[in-house]
Structure 1
Amino acid sequence: MTKSAEETTTLEAPEVAAYWAERRRYIERIRKVPEIRNRFWREVGIYLLRRLLWSFGFFPIMIAFWVPFVLSSFNPVVMAADLIPLLQDFVNSNPEIQATTISTVLIAWASIGFFFLVFDFVLTPFRSPYEYEADVYMRSWEQLNHDQLPDKV
């Protein structure tokens, strides 16, 4: 004999509510622990530094060197032969053109960096140490309270 969906949800609802209530209480308790609070802020800083270095360091540099390298058919001699006249023209140009070129390069760098930063935040969200501690605690809580909770279907 099978139970209806209504009976199944009424059995699981108290278990789910108890789980999330205990998780909330535990997170509220551990937010007051100075060691975990310090670890939280250190991990926030490391996370932001990694995302910024990855987005503004790796991707713009990779694109700036990889695209010309591909266009030169992976031949560094051809790439250098194409870039040397451009660099000579830049050095020999007047300061206004040099300033415009530098600002264009910086705008391109920033736009590529911000583009990848947004996607980096979406693809690799921050994992809080509070959440990690709560996950560990809730695994043990489930094992301790398994006999008191209603049977799962």
Structure 2
Amino acid sequence: MTMRLRLLSIAFGAISVPAVGQEANQSFCQHLAPQIRLHPVPADPKSGAVVWKTDTASVGMHLFGGAAITRVSVSPLDKTNAAEFVRLEKACDITPKGATCHLEGPATFEIKTRRFEASVTMAAGERADVDVRNTVILCRDDPH
């Protein structure tokens, strides 16, 4: 009887959760959030922009140290368009503590860490910034 209730609750849970990327009115960071466990932090009082944040380090890394590697890539939707490859090649810059990506669609953004792997397709004109600082990932949507 207990097993039947668990299966039923799992089935209803699966029905009530929308698939990632299905909501057309969601922003880039909202699409990325469930894939890498981003959480909104209070809006910046100056700009009013919502910042999404996650820390990819485990408790063990915080306590005992360790290494973390995060890979980011941006690629064009049209793989045959050389100009798009050139444009997107300049989207991400290496910083002293990680990387910063200034994204503008159309493009596919991919990020991979030891714990997460995500891919989000950006619509034409959609813009966002993604910062990787050590083990912290920040995402900010650009409303234009």
- Per the shorter chain, which TM-score range? under 0.3
TM-score of the pair, normalised by structure 1: 0.22
User: Bigger radius of gyration, 1 or 2?
Assistant: 1
More helix by share: 1
More strand by share: 2
TM-score of the pair, normalised by structure 2: 0.23
Higher relative contact order by CA 8 Å / sep ≥ 6: 1 or 2?
A: 1
